[in-house]
Amino acid sequence: MTGPLSSPDAIVRAPAPLARVAVIVPAYGVAHLLGEALASLQAQTLTDWECVVVDDGAPDDVAGAVAPFLADSRITFLATDNGGVSTARNRAIAATRAPFIALLDGDDTIRPDYLARTTAVLEEDPQARLVTVNARIYGAVPRERLCFTSRQGSGDGVRGSLVDVLDRSFGVYIGSTFRRADFDATGGFDTSMTHAEDFDLWVRLMLLGGHARFVDEVLGDYRVRSQSASASSQKMLQGNIRTFEKALEKLPPDSPAAEVARAMIASNARELRIEIAIDRVIDGDLGALAELRESSEGRLAPVWRASFLLWRFVPWLAPTMLAHRRKNHARGAGAPDADPATLAPAVA
């Protein structure tokens, strides 16, 4: 007997089962490190995952780096034009189907129990909007350290409120896991943001209600790579301010969260003025010392008070001393913008 159903193309096949979690790996400029990230993924105790490695128009050979891993059917490769990390992540997430989403940057790694621990929390706690973990920070840093060393948030140290995330007392590591439904409800990563786009997503997830969860275990390894911090620091502060402004648009004006958002805008704006003044002094504009002192007033550590006293008599030393500070606070030297938890910048 012949007929439509005798054709192989007409055979009805069941769709492939859904993976439990989708792991999103942007790999711009880190092709030489990508193998370590993917090997750590393949070593997970939870094996029911899917992964998309996204090449966002990278200048290096991401395709060549991912090729040895494509024999693993759980790993797929997506090559796109350069649209920035937010666009890359959104595109990769759209190519997956799992109910949970985990972020893994192409130069980082995760410990074997990372996916098992974070997805279990989401499954057992329907009010959890995101799950974050502790991580080792290593690479271009003076010494290895942990991402979080103090109690998380204002409550039990495990659950963080919207206010806790806004005031940065509850830090969120970039390698976090969240629900696809919540991600879709937020509209995804804001592609207009080039910095603090992850913090912006965490805040918008928290605006859905519920709480953030912290797994107090070292389940990730965050690699710091050396690079100049000056422009990046200012852009990060601008991204933070934009995140708080967006939150204010959705919050009741008289709510505690709105009060915190306004305070954080003021704090980050002050930090931005300090960073801009420092740049001006380094460039030889000694008149900016007055602006730097004014912006820093009331928050000066003893070393800074001593420095301003010295500069009053020998202002020409300021550019060299501030340039040294800039170098010491560069990404990789323990500066705030080297912090994967996107914590608030340090006070000058």
SS3 assignment, position 335: coil
pLDDT-derived band at 305 (thresholds 50, 70, 90) equals confident
Q: In this predicted structure, what is the pLDDT of residue 56?
A: 86
Q: In this predicted structure, what is the pLDDT of residue 330?
A: 57
* Number of residues written out for the chain: 348
Rounded CA gap, 113 and 47, in Å? 10
Q: Over range 118-143, report the average pLDDT.
A: 95
Radius of gyration for the chain, computed over Cα atoms and rounded to the nearest angstrom: 23
Q: In this predicted structure, what is the pLDDT of residue 260?
A: 97
Rounded CA gap, 138 and 152, in Å? 21
- For the stretch 217-249, pLDDT in tens is 999 999 988 764 445 788 999 999 999 999 999
Q: In this predicted structure, what is the pLDDT of residue 26?
A: 94
Rounded CA gap, 56 and 263, in Å? 36
Domains along the chain? 21-224 (3.90.550.10), 230-338 (no CATH)
Please state, for a pLDDT cut of 90, what percent of the chain lies above it: 69
Rounded CA gap, 334 and 158, in Å? 25
Rounded CA gap, 345 and 233, in Å? 8
Q: Over range 317-333, report the average pLDDT.
A: 75
**Mean pLDDT over each residue of the chain, to the nearest integer:** 87
Q: In this predicted structure, what is the pLDDT of residue 12?
A: 47
